[in-house]
């Protein structure tokens, strides 16, 4: 095989690339298998980085959607037995309205669990004493702002209103679990539930909440109704929904706003900004993924080096003939390096595409938003080319050092 030269008689970059492509095209099966190792390495690297970035973003979205915007205020547990614990302060009945007026608070609501020993709760006015016992839902009291504070979703009807609260109306909202226990599936026919024989009109069914999971298995009545009928002495908790990042600011003032004379009597649980620890853990996980991808790349480089060595051994006759026709050591070595670089580039481009597809497929299967820096595609292709060049250096140097006579003799 003769070397094609440029018009000025020198072996240029275009000639080098042409020879490299023709050399690879002569063995398409070997080219495909060698490029496949690079595809796997680059694809694994891009996919793992994409998985890490997508997972990190989903973690942040989930954290921001729930934990970062919810806070709780409740009286200090005076039964803790700890020295120096402040005396318990009682949450005011209008504590939700007080909290809602604070800057940084989007919604606030009070919730209490009503302790009814051996309460008879059913969807029928008459309780059969001979019937087998069934699980009885709990009873909770709430204010109108609670549904927004806990991000509740209704599947039927409506939530408690200020009219129900101000007039102590005998109405109830059923959590989904309580509705199933009582056999209530719709509210358009104005069903009633009976608590110790007293009728409460069901106005809604609560399907989902992000806080106070006990609501789902409870019969929920207005707070004022619980005070009048069940003797509720004080609210148990104040749930607040905050603006993003307002947790520390609200946490500093909410206790004083609720009880200026005894602000230390409340336990205030407000979200903090994403901690450095969480960011550090995410960075450590990302580094593990990157290391796994780099291990795959090392395996790819070793494979390219082995295949290039085999190519040099198989083409000794060609190398000897070209040396005899005037090809320099440098041009011979450059051709094998160029071949390895082309293999790496093809594998890098294909692997980057495969990694992106894998990231998108994973995100779609989990209904996440895929996140991947597109600059990584160019870096991955370049990295594949660099891996090919580095892997081909040693075999290329060996090819350039072959003497023409020896190469022709061994290649025949």
Q: Which two tokens stand for residue 302?
A: 């070793």
Q: Are strands 192-195 and 237-242 parallel, antiparallel or unpaired?
A: unpaired
Under a CB-based contact definition with an 8 Å cutoff, are residues 89 and 259 in contact? Answer: yes
Q: What are phi and psi of 63, to 5 degrees?
A: -60, -45
Q: Which residues of the chain have pLDDT under 50?
A: 1-9, 80-83, 131-133, 277
Under a CB-based contact definition with an 8 Å cutoff, are residues 267 and 74 in contact? Answer: yes
Q: What is the DSSP string of 213-250?
A: GGGGGEEEEEHHHHHHHH---S-SEEEEEE-TT-HHHH
- pLDDT value at residue 286: 65
> Given the structure tokens 């209904």, which residue do they identify?
367
Non-local (6+) Cβ contacts of 9 within 8 A are none
CA 289 to chain centre: 15
> Which segments of 89-222 does DSSP mark as H helices, in order?
95-100, 146-149, 162-166, 176-182
- 155: exposed, middle or buried (Cβ count in 10 Å: 0-12, 13-18, 19+): middle
Cα–Cα distance, 40 to 348 (Å, whole number): 9
Torsional sign, CA 234, 239, 243, 249: positive
> Given the structure tokens 């050092």, which residue do they identify?
401
Q: How many CB atoms lie within 10 A of CB 162?
A: 11
Cα–Cα distance, 371 to 141 (Å, whole number): 43
Cα–Cα distance, 365 to 386 (Å, whole number): 34
- pLDDT value at residue 84: 52
| Residue environment code for 166-175, b if the CB has 16+ CB neighbours within 10 A, otherwise e | eebbbbbbbb
- pLDDT value at residue 12: 60
Under a CB-based contact definition with an 8 Å cutoff, are residues 141 and 220 in contact? Answer: yes
- pLDDT value at residue 400: 75
| Residue environment code for 41-77, b if the CB has 16+ CB neighbours within 10 A, otherwise e | bbbbbbbbbbbbbbbbebeeeeeeeeebbbbbbbbbe
Q: Are strands 138-142 and 218-222 parallel, antiparallel or unpaired?
A: parallel
Q: Which two tokens stand for residue 410?
A: 């061994």
Shortest CA distance to 123 belongs to which of 176, 188, 183, 173?
183
- pLDDT value at residue 298: 81
Cα–Cα distance, 44 to 299 (Å, whole number): 12
- pLDDT value at residue 205: 95
Bridge-partner residues for 206, per DSSP? 154, 175
Non-local (6+) Cβ contacts of 125 within 8 A are 192, 194, 197, 199
């Amino acid at each position: 095989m003769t070397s094609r030269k440029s018009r000025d008689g020198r072996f240029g970059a275009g000639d080098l690339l042409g020879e490299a492509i023709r050399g690879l095209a002569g063995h398409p099966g070997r080219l495909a298998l060698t490029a496949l190792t690079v595809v796997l390495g680059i694809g694994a690297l891009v996919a793992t980085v994409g998985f890490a970035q997508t997972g990190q973003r989903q973690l942040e979205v989930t954290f921001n959607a729930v934990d970062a915007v919810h806070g709780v205020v409740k009286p200090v547990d005076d039964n803790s037995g700890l020295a120096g614990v402040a005396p318990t302060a009682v949450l005011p009945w209008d504590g939700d309205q007080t909290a809602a007026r604070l800057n940084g608070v989007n919604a606030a609501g009070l919730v209490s669990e009503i302790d009814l020993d051996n309460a008879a709760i059913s969807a029928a006015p008459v309780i059969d004493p001979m019937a087998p016992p069934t699980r009885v839902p709990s009873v909770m009291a709430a204010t109108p702002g609670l549904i927004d504070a806990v991000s509740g979703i209704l599947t039927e009807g409506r939530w408690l209103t200020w009219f129900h609260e101000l007039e102590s109306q005998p109405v109830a909202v059923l959590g989904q679990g309580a509705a199933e226990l009582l056999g209530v599936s719709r509210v358009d026919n104005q069903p009633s539930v009976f608590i110790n024989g007293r009728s409460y009109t069901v106005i809604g069914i609560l399907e989902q909440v992000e806080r106070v999971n006990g609501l789902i298995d409870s019969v929920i009545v207005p707070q004022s109704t619980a005070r009048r009928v069940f003797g509720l002495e004080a609210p148990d908790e104040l749930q607040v929904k905050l603006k993003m990042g307002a947790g520390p600011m609200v946490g500093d003032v909410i206790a004083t706003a609720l009880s200026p004379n005894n602000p230390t009597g409340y336990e205030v649980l407000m979200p903090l900004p994403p901690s450095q620890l969480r960011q550090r853990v995410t960075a450590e996980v990302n580094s593990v993924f990157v290391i796994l991808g780099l291990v795959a790349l090392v395996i790819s480089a070793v494979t390219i080096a082995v295949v290039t060595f085999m190519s040099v051994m198989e083409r000794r006759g060609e190398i000897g003939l070209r040396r005899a026709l005037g090809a320099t050591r440098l041009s011979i070595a450059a051709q094998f390096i160029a071949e390895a670089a082309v293999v790496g580039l093809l594998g890098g481009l294909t692997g980057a595409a495969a990694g992106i597809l894998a990231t998108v497929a994973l995100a779609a299967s989990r209904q996440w938003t895929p996140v991947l820096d597109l600059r990584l595609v160019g870096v991955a292709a370049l990295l594949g080319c660099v891996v090919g060049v580095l892997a081909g250096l040693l075999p290329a140097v060996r090819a350039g050092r072959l003497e023409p006579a020896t190469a022709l003799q061994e290649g025949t």
